[in-house]
Structure 1
Amino acid sequence: MQEIETTLVNALGAMLARETGQPVERIETHISWVLLTPAYAYKLKKPVRFPFVDFSTVHARRHFCEEELRLNRRFAPMIYLDVLPVRGSPASPRLGGANDGLPIDHVVRMRRFAQSSLMRIRLASGGLDPSWIDGLARRLARLHAEASAAPPDGFGSPERVFQSVQDVWASLKAQHDDHRLHTLRTWLENQDRVLRPLWRARRQHGAVRECHGDLHMGNVVLIDGELVPFDCIEFDAELRWIDRMSDVAFLTMDLKAHGRPDLAYRFLDGWLQGSGDHEGLQVLHFYEVYRALVRAMTSGLGPQTGAAPSGPDYLAWASAWASKPPDEAEARLMITHGLSGSGKSMLAAQLVQAAGAIRIRSDVERKRLFGLAPLERSRARGMDIYTGQANDATLGDLLTRARLALQAGYPVIVDAAFLRRSWRREFHALALERHVPFTILDCQASQATLRHRVQARAASGTDASEAGVDVLERQVHGHEPLAPDEQECALQVSTEAPVDIESLAAAWRSAASPC
């Protein structure tokens, strides 16, 4: 079989070279060959059978080519073109054609992109614009929302989640008997006992969806200024119908394993604003360890020509990450305070990256309560989302989300104006309840700066806040300044000049508990 496969790959490459008049490049993975012409990429699945994939028959390979096309068009319709039959013989193949003999195989035809456009390569070369991460996070949250939810039975049950984990562990054990695997098995079994109720609840609440399934940086590419996922899991529905937080965890893990936790938390922040799934933070750490084990497994399954030269030691990363999970010793609570335009959201976003924190934005969550997207304008929809009742609902929602993130062991920033003392006291009480440090980030700027920023923000239409100059004027005259006891908990920052974020993050981390 291997000899026939090699013959077919060589013959297809030669045929494409004749047709294009250009050399044909090849990329080999453990389950496929990809032939690259100047304009297109032709993916031929290997006739292999692993515990997680069976491409051993022509019928199976055709089916999974069609599935690959269908599923990946959700993420990258500009890349995935069609499925072509391979006719003739392994030594003399032809692509396409109808009623010209039975196909001997099939290929997925895609538009070619430069390998230098892969997210992994862009990161290594220093050519990854952090703003691209934001767009990817928003698109993935939208795609997760649009994806089908798992039926009541089957995919995503606690038993099937842990079976997938056991399969990966067993595959790694078969590759090499590393002592770290035995320690990890104990950790995974303990996590299984703890997380089963959460997995069950998340499945019941619709968190298990038809996702990407293989969302590491080697499967994300820059196309026309946007990071686009591609090459999702088509060969095993069990690996695709998963908790959406497992999808997210693959990318946050990969960024962290490549030494960029700042970008991992930036991506997570954007995805949480789009999805609102703060409950999922309780399972994120487990899924990050699992995803690192998946990468360790796949890197040992076969040739990886075309891959990055030397990547992270994913098994070492999984072992280290399992030994230091987020816990309440690291958790802390910060609320922002300041008038519109004082730079609260800007600093909060920067602290997310510097401190590995979870941000909860009142402007975003208030809109979510009314079924609005972050950038939708409530007035354009004829809605008043700033009534007393709406304010109370927003306060309760922010408290719930902050509590969930603290329970998961993360530092938390609640990004809101907090101009009313009663709101600030509610969050101080939450910090006391959770026995975590409480800090107020007090942002200040001149009246002229505030007005300029508010006007510019309103004109751009690129921020969730709907506060205009009229709102700012009411805030100036109606806000309740920090009381003396609150000032003891405050970090005062002028945003008139650039702020040293690393120093600010360090000051937050050193905050005493309780305040």
Structure 2
Amino acid sequence: MSEAGDAAAARLAQALRAHLAQQTGAPVDAVETHISRLLLARDAAYKLKKPVRLPFADFSTLDARRRFCEEELRLNRRLAPGLYLDVRPVLGTPEAPRIGRPGEAPGEAIDWVLRMQRFATGQEADALLRRDALTAQELDVFASRLARFHAGAPVAAAAQGFGTPQRVGAAMADVIEQLAPLLAGDADAARRLARLRTAFGHARPALEQAWAARPAGGHVREGHGDLHLANLVRLADGLTAFDCIEFDPGLRWIDTMADLGFLTMDLKAHGRAGLAWRFLDRYLEAAGDHGGLPVLRAYEAYRAGVRELAARLRKAGGAPLPPARPAYLACAEALAAPDGCRPRLLVTHGLSGSGKSTVAAALLEAAGAVRLRSDVERKRLAGLAPLQRSADAGLDIYTAEATARTFDRLHALADVALRAGYAVIVDAAFLRRAERERFRALARERHAPFAILHCHADERALRERVARRQALGADPSEAGLQVLARQGGWAEPPGADELPVTIDVPTDVPWDAAALARRWAALDLPQA
């Protein structure tokens, strides 16, 4: 964009700001980025695209600005329909502009704006997190919502070439190359970038097969593309994502794990790793895409590099770096480091109502682990949602054959996660020794430490919990009082050879997840 074009666009935005202030009788705030100007009126926000031509975006013509406004409206209405209202022409003259109605005199438009519902300042997820006001429960709801969004998003055609190993590798290399000149004079950052360059170079051949499997499996879809915490906002109906990538299809047609990994990375970069692991757990429970775990960490590291690049570009453009911004480059380096992968395997053990899933859910946050839950995977194999009752669907999913299939699936998924370098919690009853021994053998094959989380409570507490769970219907488990009564007759407690790797947790007294995580870490030696 020429200086004259920039100045003309700035004058138009300023005149439009004055018009809106006069029209509403209230001040209009203005926010500027390298590609847009946002005018924040009392009840609405108006987004003008700058007439720029950049390597990644071309808004240099009036027709292009209209087209990309309409594309931004279409794309963001997928997740935030109440936030994105319409596209309107800017009419009048550059000195005396006004905002027209949709479809009004489009041939006379001097520019175009995207009109949005204005939300309260400070409701973005990063701002909520800084105030410790972002709740785990609303993140849980958004995790399920994101999984549904991905499941319904269009799948990339092979001919488009999106999400291929070549494209992913080139994107990672491009971030490094763009960052290098921006870090001149910062010796520590330059050293980190060099280590990140090496890690990305090692990841590319190691992950080529896994990356190639993702588009072939239908996991490259039209996603959000920019799903960091600042692009997640609390509205009346909960958290929702906004401001997705509209200007470059290649940044939007991506692996669903690249979308997910932006958010899990950002939670980690903000010092909330527990929430990141919890979000991953809830997403995987809803989506079932455990096959994406081998590529997730690389995508997280790449996304951290993207955020560092965005910050450095803003600094290069004259804006100071925020004083409390996350250390994205250090986060990228840590996520990409091979020694950050420490696979280990823990299985739960206990009767129905003993608190296995409750303890496992807290432990995965405290220790940083992937959970595989038998109640969820059993239903997934039968085509049921986690909270759907099998009897309502006319299915018997508790036969010996169904149980065998469930444990086969848990074993296969645990193997995938261990190979990807994750700590894994398999959340099932594991009342038979043979079931535990099978997974202990898997840990030995993967040279991973093995542990048993033995949960128990007195009989009265067990019965009360099972009855309450059945009455509420808010848990995937369908085990009732009759199942509990039968379990006691054939459950096999940990044997003498299992006790050294068993973490005993009486759940009818207070317990501490952080302490349990430390006890699990203390067993962190591969089992012979």
TM-score tier after normalising by the smaller chain length: over 0.9
Instruction: State whether structure 2 residue 36 is matched by structure 1 residue 32.
Output: yes
Give the secondary structure class of the aligned counterpart of 1:91.
Answer: coil
Instruction: State whether structure 2 residue 411 is matched by structure 1 residue 411.
Output: no
Match among 175, 185, 204 for residue 192 of structure 1 = 204
Instruction: State whether structure 2 residue 221 is matched by structure 1 residue 209.
Output: yes
Match among 330, 333, 337 for residue 316 of structure 1 = 330
Give the secondary structure class of the aligned counterpart of 1:384.
Answer: coil
2:118 aligned residue = 112
Give the secondary structure class of the aligned counterpart of 2:504.
Answer: strand
1:151 aligned residue = 157
CA RMSD of aligned residues (A): 1.8
Instruction: State whether structure 2 residue 142 is matched by structure 1 residue 136.
Output: yes
TM-fit CA distance, 1:469:
1.6
TM-fit CA distance, 1:320:
3.6
TM-fit CA distance, 1:378:
1.0
CA contact (8 A) 2:451 2:503 kept: yes
CA contact (8 A) 1:27 1:305 kept: no
Give the paired residue count. 513
TM-fit CA distance, 1:125:
0.6
CA contact (8 A) 2:89 2:106 kept: no
The one-letter code matched in structure 2 to 1:27 is: V
- Correspondence 1:57-206 to 2 at 5 A: 57-97=61-101, 98-99=104-105, 101-153=107-159, 154-177=161-184, 178-206=190-218
Give the secondary structure class of the aligned counterpart of 1:418.
Answer: coil
Counterpart CA distance in 1 for 2:56 and 2:364 is: 37
Give the secondary structure class of the aligned counterpart of 1:265.
Answer: helix
TM-fit CA distance, 1:304:
9.6
Give the secondary structure class of the aligned counterpart of 1:333.
Answer: strand
Counterpart CA distance in 2 for 1:141 and 1:283 is: 17
Question: Are the structure 2 counterparts of residues 166 and 49 from structure 1 closer, same or farther at C-alpha, using a change threshold of 3 Å?
Answer: farther
Counterpart CA distance in 1 for 2:345 and 2:389 is: 29
CA contact (8 A) 1:88 1:101 kept: no
Residues 415-465 of structure 1 show CA distances to partners (whole Å, capped at 9, x for unaligned) of 001112221111111111112111110001111111111121122222111
TM-fit CA distance, 1:208:
0.7
2:53 aligned residue = 49
Residues 134-171 of structure 1 show CA distances to partners (whole Å, capped at 9, x for unaligned) of 11111111111111111122111111112222332232
Instruction: State whether structure 2 residue 349 is matched by structure 1 residue 337.
Output: yes
The one-letter code matched in structure 2 to 1:322 is: A
The one-letter code matched in structure 1 to 2:336 is: A
CA contact (8 A) 1:29 1:305 kept: no
The unaligned stretches of length 5 or more in structure 2 are 185-189
Match among 257, 261, 269 for residue 257 of structure 1 = 269
CA contact (8 A) 1:86 1:94 kept: yes
TM-score norm. by structure 1 comes to 0.96
Give the secondary structure class of the aligned counterpart of 1:242.
Answer: strand
Question: Are the structure 2 counterparts of residues 6 and 325 from structure 1 closer, same or farther at C-alpha, using a change threshold of 3 Å?
Answer: farther
Give the secondary structure class of the aligned counterpart of 2:340.
Answer: coil
CA contact (8 A) 2:35 2:52 kept: yes
TM-score norm. by structure 2 comes to 0.94
Instruction: State whether structure 2 residue 43 is matched by structure 1 residue 22.
Output: no
Counterpart CA distance in 2 for 1:225 and 1:313 is: 32
Give the secondary structure class of the aligned counterpart of 2:461.
Answer: helix
Counterpart CA distance in 2 for 1:61 and 1:307 is: 29
1:451 aligned residue = 463
1:391 aligned residue = 403
TM-fit CA distance, 1:66:
0.8
1:382 aligned residue = 394
TM-fit CA distance, 1:101:
4.6
Counterpart CA distance in 2 for 1:351 and 1:271 is: 17
Question: Are the structure 2 counterparts of residues 307 and 206 from structure 1 closer, same or farther at C-alpha, using a change threshold of 3 Å?
Answer: farther
Counterpart CA distance in 1 for 2:65 and 2:469 is: 52
CA contact (8 A) 2:311 2:321 kept: no
CA contact (8 A) 1:30 1:304 kept: no
Residues 92-114 of structure 1 show CA distances to partners (whole Å, capped at 9, x for unaligned) of 11212422752121111111111
The one-letter code matched in structure 2 to 1:104 is: I
Counterpart CA distance in 1 for 2:33 and 2:472 is: 45
CA contact (8 A) 2:334 2:340 kept: no
Question: Are the structure 2 counterparts of residues 435 and 272 from structure 1 closer, same or farther at C-alpha, using a change threshold of 3 Å?
Answer: same
Counterpart CA distance in 2 for 1:431 and 1:250 is: 30
Counterpart CA distance in 2 for 1:375 and 1:104 is: 53
TM-fit CA distance, 1:470:
2.0
Counterpart CA distance in 2 for 1:220 and 1:295 is: 15
Question: Are the structure 2 counterparts of residues 99 and 143 from structure 1 closer, same or farther at C-alpha, using a change threshold of 3 Å?
Answer: same
TM-fit CA distance, 1:364:
0.7
1:472 aligned residue = 484
TM-fit CA distance, 1:300:
2.8
Instruction: State whether structure 2 residue 305 is matched by structure 1 residue 293.
Output: yes
Question: Are the structure 2 counterparts of residues 197 and 437 from structure 1 closer, same or farther at C-alpha, using a change threshold of 3 Å?
Answer: same
Residues 203-229 of structure 1 show CA distances to partners (whole Å, capped at 9, x for unaligned) of 101111111110000000111262111
TM-fit CA distance, 1:483:
2.4
Match among 321, 340, 354 for residue 326 of structure 1 = 340
CA contact (8 A) 1:30 1:301 kept: no
